[in-house]
C-alpha cells in the first residue's frame, strides 16, 4: 500500500476526526486511525465504539490499494511539524511497518492489522431528513450546555430531538435547568424522536459552526448517521424514554420582568462573586420598577447588593436562583432584552428572548429556584 498526499490536507482531515478518540481506551486499536485506500480514494476512520467518524480524500498519487491502522497521536504530532509538503506513505502489509517520507526526512513506525478495527454499524431501515448546517449548529449551541452529567440518568445526558411535519424541537435538561429550542422552518415527513449523545454533538458543532452546507441525517432505532461534504459521523443513540418536559413548564406566570440582557448578566456576574460557592445563590427582590440583586456567604462574611431599573408587572416577589445557571442561559440568548416570567418563590422561572429577529426560531429556558434562607 502506497500513497502520496499533501501534509496540510491530511492534517486538517485528521484533526476533524481525532476528537472521537478517547484518552484511555480499553482496546489499544482504538488509539489508531484506520486508513483504507481503494480506487484512488483514501478513507480515514476513528472510533470509540459508540461514535465513529470518517473522512474521505483523494491523494495526489495512489499506487496500491490496502488498509492499515496507524497510531493517531504520533501521526498527528508529526504532521503538525511539517510545512505544506507532499508526504509519502509506504506500508508493508506483511509486518504492518509504516514508512513516512517528507522532504529529506524518513520516519518509521509500526501499525496494526486493519481487520482488528471495529466495523462501522450498517444503517438498516432508516429514515432521513436534511437540515442546513447553520440551523443544526444553532440548535446544538442553544441546548448542549443544559444537558446533565449524571451517569445514573443517561437519558438526561443527551439532547432530545423531536421531529414532526410541523416543526423540529430540540430539548435538553439536567433537572435543574431546561432548554426547549424549536424551529418551524425545518420539518420532517414523519414524526419521530430520539436522544443524541453529547460527545458526537460536540464533534459536529466544532466542524459545522461557521459553515453553510446541507447536513443529511439518517436514523433508525439504534443509530444516527450524519453526512456532509467529505465527513461521515455515526453515533449510537441513547436508549431510554425522555421525561415529559412539557409537564414541568409552568403556564401560569403572572409576574413578568423585562430587562436589558447585558445589564442583568453583568450584575449577576458581579453579585455572584460574593455568593456561597456551593449554592451560587443570588436573591432577586422585585417591586415596582426596581430589581435588587443580592448574595451572601456567611462562612466568609461576604455579601453584596446591587440595583437595576426594570420593567416589572406583578406582585412584589423575592426568589433565589443559581447564578451559574442564569449566566449560562443569558449567554445563550442573542436578543438585547429578555423576559423572566415567574409565579412563586418555589416555582420554576421561564426565561424568554424579547423581539427575536428570526421568527422561525422559538426558544424557551426554564430554571429551578433555590430555596431562600430567611
Extract the C-alpha cell encoding 238: 441513547
Determine, yes or no, domain membership for 364. yes
Query: In terms of DSSP bridges, do strands 255-260 and 281-287 run parallel, antiparallel, or are they unpaired?
Result: unpaired
259 and 235 belong to one structural domain: no
Residues 272 and 359 occupy one common structural domain: yes
Domain assignment present for 358? yes
Question: In this structure, are 56 and 96 located in the same domain?
Answer: yes
Considering 62, 95, 116, which residue would you say is the last residue of a domain? Answer: 116
Same domain for 60 and 105, yes or no, is: yes
Residue 63 and residue 145 in one domain: no
Pairing relation of β-strands 41-47 and 2-6?
unpaired
The helix (H) or strand (E) run that includes residue 325 is helix 323-331
Given a contact cutoff of 8 angstroms between Cβ atoms, the answer to whether 87 and 102 are in contact is yes
Domain extent, residue 24, equals 2-116
Sign of the dihedral through C-alpha 356, 290, 252, 319: positive
Say whether both 32 and 111 belong to one domain.
yes
Which position has the grid cell 465527513? 231
pLDDT (tens digit per residue) in 250-259: 999 999 999 9
Q: Could you give the 3-state DSSP secondary structure of residue 73?
A: helix
Same domain as 270, residue 164: no
Q: Could you say which DSSP state residue 138 is in?
A: H
So what's the pLDDT on residue 374? 61
Question: Which of residues 225, 246, 267 is at a domain's end?
Answer: 246
Quick one: which of 53, 70, 52 has its CA closest to 3? Answer: 70
My answer on whether 256 and 350 are in the same domain is yes
Distance of alpha carbon 10 from alpha carbon 8, whole angstroms: 5
Structural domain includes residue 315? yes
Return the closest-CA partner of residue 355 out of 332, 341, 329, 336: 336
Of the candidates 219, 246, 273, which is a domain's last residue? 246
CA distances for 184 relative to 132, 135, 164, 265, angstroms: 13, 11, 10, 29
Handedness of CA 195, 198, 200, 206 (dihedral sign): positive
**Cell 414523519, located at residue:** 190
Measured distance CA(306)–CA(52) in Å, rounded: 50
Looking at the fold, whether 272 and 349 belong to one and the same domain comes out as: yes
Grid cell listed for 107: 520516519
Does residue 133 contact residue 175 with C-beta atoms inside 8 Å?
A: no
* Total number of domains in the chain: 3
Q: Which helix (H) or strand (E) holds 349?
A: strand 349-354
Asked if residue 302 is part of any domain, the answer here is: yes
Edge-to-edge strands of the sheet including 361-367?
192-196, 159-163, 168-173, 177-183, 361-367, 349-354, 337-342, 255-260, 311-313
Residue carrying C-alpha cell 444516527: 224
**Residue 192 resides in a domain:** yes
- Do the domain assignments include residue 121? no
Q: Does any domain span residue 122?
A: no
* pLDDT score of 152: 85
Render each residue's pLDDT in the chain as its tens digit; 374 residues. 999 999 999 999 999 999 999 988 889 999 999 999 999 999 999 999 999 999 999 999 998 899 999 999 999 999 999 999 999 999 998 899 999 999 899 999 999 999 989 988 887 888 999 999 999 999 999 999 999 998 889 999 999 999 999 999 999 999 999 999 999 999 998 899 999 999 999 999 999 998 999 999 999 999 999 999 999 999 999 999 999 999 999 999 999 999 999 999 999 999 999 999 999 999 999 998 999 999 999 889 999 999 999 999 999 999 999 999 999 999 999 999 999 999 999 999 999 999 988 899 999 999 999 988 76
Q: Is the dihedral of CA 54, 55, 58, 61 positive or negative?
A: negative
What order do you get walking across the sheet with 290-297 strand by strand?
302-309, 290-297, 281-287, 317-322, 369-370
User: Please, are residues 67 and 114 in contact by the beta-carbon 8 Å criterion?
Assistant: yes
Same structural domain, 256 and 364: yes
Cα–Cα distance between 23 and 41 in angstroms, integer?
29
Closest to 338 (Cα-Cα) out of 356, 321, 324, 320:
356
- What CATH number is given to the structural domain containing 139? 3.10.150.10
C-alpha separations of 3 from 38, 89, 91, 98 in Å: 11, 5, 9, 12
Tell me, yes or no, whether 196 and 289 share the same domain. no
Residues 137 and 110 in one domain: no
DSSP symbols for 282-298: EEEEEETTEEEEEEEEG
pLDDT of residue 184: 94
Q: Which of 125, 196, 202, 137 is nearest to 162 (CA)?
A: 196
Amino acid at each position: 500500500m502506497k500513497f502520496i498526499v499533501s501534509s496540510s490536507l491530511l492534517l486538517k482531515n485528521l484533526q476533524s476526526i481525532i476528537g472521537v478518540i478517547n484518552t484511555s481506551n480499553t482496546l489499544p486499536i482504538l488509539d489508531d486511525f484506520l486508513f483504507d485506500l481503494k480506487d484512488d480514494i483514501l478513507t480515514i476512520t476513528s472510533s470509540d465504539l459508540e461514535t465513529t467518524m470518517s473522512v474521505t480524500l483523494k491523494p495526489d498519487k495512489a499506487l496500491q490499494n490496502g488498509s492499515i491502522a496507524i497510531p493517531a497521536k504520533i501521526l498527528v504530532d508529526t504532521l503538525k511539524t511539517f510545512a505544506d509538503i507532499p508526504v509519502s506513505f509506504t506500508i508493508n502489509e506483511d509486518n504492518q511497518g509504516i514508512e513516512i517520507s517528507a522532504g529529506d526526512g524518513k520516519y518509521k513506525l509500526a501499525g496494526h492489522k486493519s481487520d482488528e478495527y471495529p466495523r462501522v454499524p450498517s444503517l438498516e431501515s432508516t429514515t432521513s431528513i436534511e437540515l442546513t448546517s447553520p440551523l443544526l449548529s444553532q440548535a446544538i449551541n442553544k441546548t448542549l450546555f443544559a444537558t446533565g452529567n449524571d451517569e445514573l440518568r443517561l437519558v438526561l445526558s443527551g439532547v432530545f430531538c423531536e421531529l414532526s411535519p410541523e416543526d423540529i424541537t430540540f430539548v435538553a435538561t439536567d433537572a435543574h435547568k431546561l432548554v426547549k429550542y424549536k424551529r418551524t422552518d425545518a420539518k420532517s415527513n414523519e414524526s419521530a424522536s430520539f436522544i443524541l449523545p453529547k460527545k458526537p454533538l460536540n464533534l459536529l458543532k466544532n466542524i459545522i459552526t461557521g459553515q453553510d452546507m446541507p447536513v443529511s441525517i439518517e436514523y433508525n432505532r439504534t443509530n444516527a448517521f450524519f453526512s456532509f461534504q467529505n465527513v461521515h459521523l455515526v453515533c449510537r443513540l441513547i436508549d431510554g424514554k425522555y421525561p415529559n418536559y412539557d409537564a414541568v413548564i409552568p403556564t401560569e406566570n403572572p409576574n413578568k420582568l423585562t430587562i436589558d440582557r447585558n445589564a442583568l448578566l453583568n450584575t449577576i456576574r458581579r453579585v455572584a462573586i460574593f455568593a456561597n460557592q456551593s449554592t451560587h445563590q443570588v436573591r432577586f427582590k422585585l417591586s415596582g420598577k426596581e430589581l435588587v440583586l443580592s448574595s451572601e456567604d456567611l462562612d466568609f462574611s461576604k455579601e453584596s447588593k446591587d440595583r437595576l431599573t426594570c420593567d416589572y408587572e406583578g406582585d412584589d416577589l423575592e426568589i433565589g436562583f443559581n447564578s451559574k445557571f442564569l449566566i449560562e442561559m443569558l449567554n445563550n440568548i442573542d436578543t438585547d432584552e429578555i423576559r423572566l416570567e415567574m409565579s412563586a418563590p418555589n416555582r420554576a422561572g421561564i426565561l424568554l428572548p424579547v423581539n427575536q429577529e428570526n421568527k422561525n426560531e422559538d426558544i424557551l429556558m426554564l430554571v429551578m429556584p433555590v430555596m431562600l434562607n430567611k
